[in-house]
Chains A and B, each alone.
Chain A
Amino acid sequence: MTTLSLQHVTVAGRTGDRLRSVDLTFEPGQTCLLVGPNGAGKSTLLRVLLGLEVMSEGSARIGGHNVRDLSARGRAAAVAWLPQNPRLEVGVTGEELVAAARFRFQEPWREARAVARDMLRARGAHAFADRRMETLSGGEAQRVRFAALDAQEASWWLLDEPAAHLDPSIQLTLLEAVRAREEQDGGVIMVTHDLAMVPSFFSKQARVVGLSGGAVAVDEPLQPSVSVRSIGRLMSLELAEITVEDRPHWVVQGAAP
């Protein structure tokens, strides 16, 4: 397991800094929800941890090593990524896509495909193994991509709104996958806008980090009755907590006064 950390990270953008002097440490196996308004720097933060952004200041570290000094394969062992609106992988079958995600293992292709088949079966997505990605629905394709995350066998999952634009039942399936990951002590950092699901979803103690204008505005253990106020303020929303069958939920009542 690996600790991820950002030290004084600043990322310059065209119209001001996209991240401003961010200091964060993610302990192994932690579950972290990353929230904030559009353009707050959530995706950029994930990309910094993945070594995809050029920082104007500070450093990102994976298990004590600077992200920049690690080899691509070394990074792939620590962090796996599901981007926001991933590009449709035209031409390959589900199985080929999952097998391709095992690039870092340098194993024979036949072996990678066998593992891919197992991973798809474990996700209940074996029906998509021989189908081309472009023939799958959005939800089906996203389930194959989750199997690809499994196949990479990284310590951390960095998920960027993995359930956006999908129907509620598929959203639930995907979020179950994240929850299962949490129960196996795999680390997850997930960007989400789905505030209704935030308070009740995770079984163990999660952490919530809120970004605003590229800086960390909220960083606390998720306690629904407390976080409802800090997250509400962060998102400029009037959030209220309600309880249904002893489980807390958040509802948006309107814009903050």
Chain B
Amino acid sequence: MTRIVLLLVGVLLAVACAPWLGAELVGEQADWVWWNLRWPRVVLGALVGLTLALVGASFQVVLENPLATPSTVGTTAGASVGALLVLVCFPQLASLGAVSLGAFAGAAMVSFLIASLATTRGIRMEDLLLAGIAVTLASSALVMGLQLQADANTTLAAVRWSLGSLATVGWGKVYGVAPLALLGCGVILTQGRALQALVGGQDRAATQGVNLAKVRVLVLGMGSLAVGACVAACGPIAFVGLIVPHLVSRSIGGGPRTLIPLSGIAGAGFLPLADGLARVLLVGRELPVGVLTATLGAPVLLWLLLSRR
């Protein structure tokens, strides 16, 4: 209980402090920057962090694999292909909105594929992960092929998008991401009891009355859609969905019913803070937050694995 309260206080502090990170705001632009650059960015970070961590935690339960995240089942890869297709095929449309739509369509298609695979009779969860890896490999090959075809500007835009960044002007992205992200997280939270029953394995949960097909479709499908919305707006932000749930389960523990919402809360604090750091680490320019989470994420993951027991 104390640890949960500590986590909540920490997250509130992180979110409250995040907008203060960065150069001191002076002059007549200060107010505008504060309300249209800093705060939307923090809120977007909290929203994306919440979604990635909560969905990651729930995927790890449903797929019965501690390494499962939306990236491992191919959602992120699908989004990348979608975004790049728009950039390459319709360069005249290549506004942020169109790229996001393309990314979202890609993620949605992969989500649909996963959800229909997940309800196939007799499918094992390892099969789903393998299918995700296949989708990811095929997508990265496609992405490389597309980049070769594209001109330098498009390739640069694609690379920029693929680094993952929370940079935003105004509240547009927040409004764009919020409905699907919150809907997806909400639907997953309604499945807490079923996910809790899954700790004894899929078969045992089924004999206790859990409708496995329904849980899989709701969690994998809606989770992928929610993440698709995030990736569409911000690009893929690596490792959040993997590391935050592991840190929470390590420090607080508990069953999926508590672990999943707590991971979401922790993610909502983690990402704005990481983004704040990415803004101030290099003097004079900022690092895309995806670069920071990936660079920090890999060693943290290794440490987690090595310090197990």
Contact = CB atoms under 8 A, between A and B. Distances in A.
A79 B208 CA distance: 9
Interface in B190-232: 193-194, 196-197, 199-201, 203-212
A81 interface: yes
Tell me what chain B mostly uses at the interface: helix, strand, loop, or mixed.
helix
Given A91-B255, A96-B255, A101-B208, A86 B196 contact: no
B172 interface: no
Interface string B114-133: 00000001100000000000
B254 interface: yes
B179 interface: no
A117 interface: no
A244 interface: no
Given A91-B256, A91-B259, A92-B254, A76 B207 contact: yes
A103 B200 CA distance: 13
A72 B206 contact: yes
A204 interface: no
A92 B199 contact: yes
A104 B61 CA distance: 20
B259 to A, nearest CB: 7
Interface residues of B, number: 26
B193 A100 contact: yes
Contacts of B203: 47, 50, 52, 81, 83
A50 B122 CA distance: 15
Contacts of B197: 100-101, 103
B168 interface: no
B255 A103 contact: no
Q: Which of B122, B201, B253, B255 has the most CB of A within 10 A?
A: B255
A132 B208 contact: no
Contacts of A34: none
A110 interface: no
Interface residues of A, number: 31
Interface in A40-65: 47, 50-52, 54
A132 B258 CA distance: 14
Nearest to B196: A100
A77 B209 CA distance: 8
Interface in B104-152: 121-122
Interface in A70-86: 71-73, 75-77, 79-81, 83, 86
A91 B254 contact: yes
Interface in A133-179: 152
A76 B208 CA distance: 5
A103 B207 contact: no
A80 B254 CA distance: 25
A89 interface: yes
A80 B206 CA distance: 10
A97 interface: yes
Interface string A81-124: 10100110111110011001101100001000000000000000
A47 B194 CA distance: 20
Contacts of B205: 103
B249 interface: yes
A101 B210 CA distance: 10
Q: Which of B197, B206, B209 has the most CB of A within 10 A?
A: B209
A48 B206 CA distance: 13
Interface in B251-265: 253-257, 259
Contacts of A54: 121-122
A92 B259 CA distance: 10
B211 A72 contact: yes
B211 A80 contact: no
B210 A72 contact: yes
Contacts of A93: 255
Contacts of B256: 91
Q: Which of B122, B207, B256 has the most CB of A within 10 A?
A: B207
Given A91-B259, A96-B255, A132-B253, A50 B196 contact: no
Q: Which of A77, A87, A91 has the most CB of B within 10 A?
A: A91
B199 A100 contact: yes
Given A72-B206, A100-B208, 11 more contacts: A51-B206, A54-B122, A72-B212, A87-B201, A89-B200, A91-B199, A91-B249, A96-B196, A96-B255, A103-B208, A109-B193
21 contacts: A50-B207, A51-B206, A72-B209, A72-B212, A81-B207, A83-B201, A87-B201, A87-B204, A91-B199, A91-B253, A92-B196, A92-B254, A92-B255, A96-B196, A97-B199, A100-B193, A100-B196, A101-B197, A101-B208, A103-B193, A103-B205
Interface of A: 47, 50-52, 54, 71-73, 75-77, 79-81, 83, 86-87, 89-93, 96-97, 100-101, 103-104, 109, 132, 152
A-B CB proximity, top 9 nearest: A76-B209, A104-B209, A92-B255, A73-B209, A89-B199, A81-B207, A100-B196, A100-B197, A72-B211
Interface of B: 121-122, 193-194, 196-197, 199-201, 203-212, 249, 253-257, 259
